[in-house]
Every structure is written in C-alpha cells, then in structure tokens.
Structure 1
Amino acid sequence: GFSCLVLNPLLVNKFFTASLRKTKTDKIDAKAIAIMLYHIHEQLPDKSSLPKDFRDIAREREKIAQQIATVKNDIEKLLTVLFPELEKIVNIYNSSILKLLSKFPSAHAIKNASTEEINEALCPKTPGKPVNVSAQKIKSIAKESIASYWPVKELILVQKIKKLFFLEEQLEFFTDLLRQFCEEASLCQDLEILKSIKGVGNITATYFLAEVGDITRFSSTKKLIAYCGLDPTVYESGRFKGKSKISKRGNRHLRRIVWLMSIGVVMHNEYFREYYNKRRAEGLVFKKAILAVAHKLIRTIWSMLTKKQLFSVNHAFSSCSLRR
C-alpha cells in the first residue's frame, strides 16, 4: 500500500497561489500537489517519528479534562440555587458529598431526610476521602438555607453528577493508557528530563512529548517555536512597521500546553520566575512576559532533550545561544 502523511493545508494553498493562472480543476489540483511533493519530498518527516496514536490518546484525555471542567461549572451554578451554603463548609467535589447530592440534590431534600439517611450517603462502602463535617451539621445548615425549591434543577443536578462520575472514570482510563503508551514508546527518559524542570508536571510533560514526538525532527529551536505557532510575525512596507504578534499557525494543542508549562515554571521555578520578573520590569504586559518565558522554556527543553540531560541553570543560560 501507499504510506500517507498529513501536510499543512496552508503550505499546499500557498504553492497553488504561486501560479499566475486562476483556473482550478481536480486535474490541475492533483498535478500541483504532485509537483509540490516532488520538490519537497526530501524535507518530509519520517512517518515513524510522528506518534499519532500517542497524540490521539493525549488529545482525548485533554478533551475529557475540559469536559470535566465544564460539568463542574454547571454543578456549581446549580448549587447556587439549590444549596448555596454547602460549598462554604465542604468540598462539593468530595466523592461522598457528590453521592449525597445524587440522593438528596438540594437543601430542601436534605432538610426532609433523616440523619441516618444522610449518614448512610456520606459514609459509602467504597473507599474515598472522609468528609470533615457531620450529617447533623449539614442538616442544620439545610434547614436555614435560602435555597429555592426547584425540582427540575434537582433532576438536572443528579444527571450532571452522574456525568461527572463517568467522565472521571474515562479520565483515569486514558491517564493509565497514556502512561502505558509512554512506557512502550520508550519515552520514559524524555519524560523524566522534562519533569526535572520544577513547575513542569507529569501530565503536561506527557502532553508535550505526545505533540512534539521525536525532538530530532527539529534541527533548531526556531523550528520548534514555529511548530508551536509562537513565532513572531513581521509586516513591513516602506516606512510602515506593523506590530509584531505570534503567528498562531502551528500546533494549537502544543501552544496551549507550552503556555500552561510557562505559567507553571513562573510559579514554581526560581530561574524562570526571575526571568519573568525581569521582562515585566522592562515594561512587558503579563501575556507578553509569559510569551518570552515560553520562548526561553522551549529553547531550554530543546537543548535538554537533544543532549539527553536533566535541567540545570546552565541549560537555561546556554539556550540564549540557540536562537538560530
């Protein structure tokens, strides 16, 4: 069979527009693609260097995590109507509290339940973190609650909680699958290298590897930055010089991950925090300062993964010379 590769459609389109003719037919398109591949085939990456399965698993987990955040926001909104005082005394996402709300989804329902029924819901047989508030306390607060009685919203809350439990099971499944795939793909060393940067967690490091794949695909940090879509755009014409913005033409998933990693290192890594503070002192606003950190972080990571070495300040300093 034929091996397949996905190309950036923008590159194909730009190749088409290089022609002076405006005629467009399937035959002309096929010929143009063939001519383009003839000229760039040596630059195409090896398919084996693109861990598509690994990336698909990472993106599915990312999607589920975003769905969980959405469902949690919905639950909080419903509780502001059904039992607004509850989140002030307990963590509403404690498994025992969620199971209590599944059975008694409002202050009105808890108020009418017996203490024994509340205790039974709070102390399930399945393992979980115990609740640091008694059934009597919850019941007494429910009696004084300003909550509205809204049966339809109670039904919606129960379904939202069921959906949250399901999504959390899915998240755990894909997390285990991601860990297993990382081990099978012999990426454990690269994972440990990334995690040696204080502020980069296990999940974000795994996401980064899933999106980047083999670091040797990128001969320079400049190409890796462009792949993230964090490279600056320049528009000049005569005396006019436009404001520089990032291109956003790279991998949007990777761009989001690098952004989160950059915030993480600013919060937890002294070296990157000092660099961030330095750029802020130079007058950069928050987003531009984080973007500067992102560039420095990418150069540092490229150096570490290329040399297979753990993080040290020397890597961060040497990254300044990697702007090729």
Structure 2
Amino acid sequence: MTDITHSTTKPHLLALDVARRFNAVLIELATGEQRRFKMTNSAQDFDRLVQFINTTAGSWRAALEPTGDYHRPIAHRLLQAGVDVVIVSSVAQARYREAKFNSWDKNDPKDASVILDMLKHGMVMRYVDPMVAGHHDLQELSKTYYQVTRARTKVLHAIVNHHLPLYFPEMQRYWQTTRIEWWLRFMLEFPTPAHVRQLSKEAFIDQAWELVGRKVEKTAKLTEIWQMAEHSAALPHALDCLAVETFRVSLRQAQHLNELRRSLEQCAERVLSSNQDYAQLISLPGIGPIIALTVLAEVGDIRRFAHHRQFLKYCGFDLAKLQSGTHRGREQLSKRGNARLC
C-alpha cells in the first residue's frame, strides 16, 4: 500500500538561534523549501516575521534555545501569533552539534540548523511563557531579590575583607550572623577606635546603648568594646578624614540593601498570602518564604506536571547513574534542571 503524504498537514518549522543583538533564523516550509536570514531584536523585525507567518497558510512550530532573557520577547510575540513554541536544551544542542559535524564548530547559522534538526526529531521541551502563564510578576520579584542579595553579599565581603582590617579589625568578632543591623548601626557611629576612645566609658555606653542588640548584656559588651579600642591594630585615622567617610559609604550601602531585601520579603509574603501552593510549601521543614517564592516563580503552576518525577527532573533532583559495561556508579542527583532550583 502506497504511503500518501499530505503536505498541508505538516507544520512550517522555524528555528531561532537567539543572541543579544541578532538572531539567526532558519525556516523550513511544509513544502521543504528553506529560508535563512538574520534579524535584530527589534519591534520592526518582530513585526516583519509575524507578518510573514500570518500570510503563510498553515500551522507553525518554532524552536529556540533559551539565552539569558533575550529569547523572552520574540517567544512571546510568536505565542501571541499562534505559533507553537518549544525550546531545546543547551547541553543537548551542544552534543547534537558535535555528533553531526564531528567538531566543536560553533556559529549562529550552524546552531540554527541544529535546532531545526532537533525540532524535526522531537528533541525539544515545552516552553512556558511566564507572562502568559501568569507568574511573570513573581518571577521578577524573585530575581530582584536574588540580585539584591548578591549585591549585599558583595558589599559585606568588601566590609569584612577590606575595611575592617584598616579601620577596626577587633570588631570582626561581633560579625556573627547574616542579620547584622545593630553592627552596621554601631559602625556608622563608631567606625574607628578613635571614635570610641574620644568618649569616656560612661559617655560611650550611654551614646551606644540604643545601637546594640536588645537580647544582649549591653553594659558588658560595650565595656569590652571600649577597652578593646584602647589597643587596636587599626590604622591611625583622623576622626573626620575622607577615608572614614568612604567606609561609612559602604556601611550605608549595606544598610540600604538590608532594608530593600526585607521589604522584598514582606512583599512576597503579602502577595502569596492567599496562595495555597505557597502555604503548602512553607509548611515543609527547611522551606521559608523566599525558597517558596523561588519555586513558584520558576515553576509557575505545579499542576502542569503530570507526575512528581517530572517536577523533580525539572528541578534537577532526579537520580542519575554512570554505567559502562560492568561498571555501575552510585546514583546521585543529576543537577541538570532549572539552575535556580538545583
């Protein structure tokens, strides 16, 4: 019996190798005809591509490799145009390219052809647009919190590794927790031993009383600091010198980032207070508001996974084992899922 191929039922295929400024595009129409061109990440080029799709009869299927966030605008436009959008794994694409061309020869046109081949063979994954799925706001809140935390960590490392050895190295012993609001307040007021020793012990204790934490023996701690400041290894800075002011700049920056991070945490709790998935997540041991926010921001609707193993694989928590011949390695987490959830 002769096979009859209905070309009209085949979708048109679109492969996109996404970059920061230019995208390599490879189109294969249902008739087999291929078209290759380059487009910019601009509204004008998006409009031209969507116009071509709308004027070409038939269904469309597009595949792209997620690249930072540069793929998000073009993927959203394609979804709005009714195109079925899928993604290819970066690891799978690299291995497929090496197997196909027998070399590690990476360039945009070649990557586009690899993406097209993987699309034809079904070696793709579902793409979920956060804006269409409705969790774009959560994702941006989570990513902003992550960036603020990174900036805060960088500033705190600068304070500990650069400023403290020069200005007041003995205060390192009180650097104990990640929540160091009292420490920052104190150092802003007394950044060097000279600022401490310019006051008598009684005057220093009275002025610094409200700066230190509540659940401490304040008199003993402040007396210890006052005595410690008498023989400090710090450089002899003048009270009003420019160097001390630069130290205070870093302290204020850390203080601001602390406040910003706290406000983002409060915002997350307020936004997710009525979310049932959030309530279930924070009920688990070891999961707080920020981890729960990250999970919901990256996953979106958890119920879109048909099985819990699919969710574990998406997070990179599925088990993997190296096996070759008689050698069998130990099972361990693959850690090849979402980078922010691994």
- Structure with greater helix share of residues: 1
**Which deviates more from structure 2 when the two are superposed, residues 50-59 or residues 132-141?**
132-141
Structure 2 residues not aligned, in runs of 5+: 1-76, 80-84
Q: Which residue of 2 aligns with 1:169?
A: 259
| Superposed CA RMSD | 4.0
How many Å separate the matches in 1 of 2:106 and 2:155? 46
Q: Tell which has more relative contact order, 1 or 2 (C-alpha 8 A, sep 6+).
A: 1
Q: Which residue of 1 aligns with 2:38?
A: none
Per-residue deviation, residues 42-73 of structure 1 (Å, max 9, x unmatched): 95244334734422321331332344344445
Deviation, 1:138, is 6.0
What does residue range 43-192 of structure 1 map to in structure 2 within 5 Å?
44-47=126-129, 48-49=132-133, 51-77=135-161, 78-79=163-164, 82-83=167-168, 85-86=170-171, 95=181, 97-113=183-199, 116=203, 119-120=206-207, 122-123=209-210, 132-134=217-219, 137=223, 140-151=226-237, 154-155=244-245, 157-182=247-272, 188-192=275-279
Deviation, 1:170, is 2.0
* TM-score with structure 1 setting the length: 0.59
Per-residue deviation, residues 245-289 of structure 1 (Å, max 9, x unmatched): 43322122211xxxxxxxxxxxxxxxxxxxxxxxxxxxxxxxxxx
How many Å separate the matches in 2 of 1:17 and 1:87? 52
Deviation, 1:168, is 1.1
- Structure with greater strand share of residues: 2
Structure 1 residues not aligned, in runs of 5+: 256-324
Deviation, 1:36, is 3.2
Is the contact between residue 95 and residue 129 of structure 1 (CA under 8 Å) also seen in structure 2? Answer: no
Deviation, 1:150, is 4.3
Deviation, 1:136, is 7.0
Is the contact between residue 108 and residue 142 of structure 1 (CA under 8 Å) also seen in structure 2? Answer: no
How many Å separate the matches in 2 of 1:66 and 1:28? 36
Read off the aligned partner of 1:56 and give its amino acid letter: E
How many Å separate the matches in 1 of 2:277 and 2:194? 53
How many Å separate the matches in 2 of 1:26 and 1:82? 52
**Which deviates more from structure 2 when the two are superposed, residues 172-181 or residues 191-200?**
172-181
**Percent sequence identity over matched residues?**
24
Shift in alpha-carbon separation, 1:6–1:58, aligned structure 2, 3 A: farther
Shift in alpha-carbon separation, 1:193–1:168, aligned structure 2, 3 A: same
Per-residue deviation, residues 293-312 of structure 1 (Å, max 9, x unmatched): xxxxxxxxxxxxxxxxxxxx
Is the contact between residue 232 and residue 247 of structure 1 (CA under 8 Å) also seen in structure 2? Answer: yes
How many Å separate the matches in 2 of 1:215 and 1:137? 55
Is the contact between residue 232 and residue 246 of structure 1 (CA under 8 Å) also seen in structure 2? Answer: yes
Select the residue among 87, 93, 117 that pairs with 1:12: 93
Shift in alpha-carbon separation, 1:148–1:85, aligned structure 2, 3 A: closer
Higher alpha-carbon Rg: 2
Is the contact between residue 197 and residue 230 of structure 2 (CA under 8 Å) also seen in structure 1? Answer: no
2:340 partner SS: helix
* TM-score with structure 2 setting the length: 0.57
Read off the aligned partner of 1:51 and give its amino acid letter: H
Q: Which residue of 2 aligns with 1:218?
A: 305
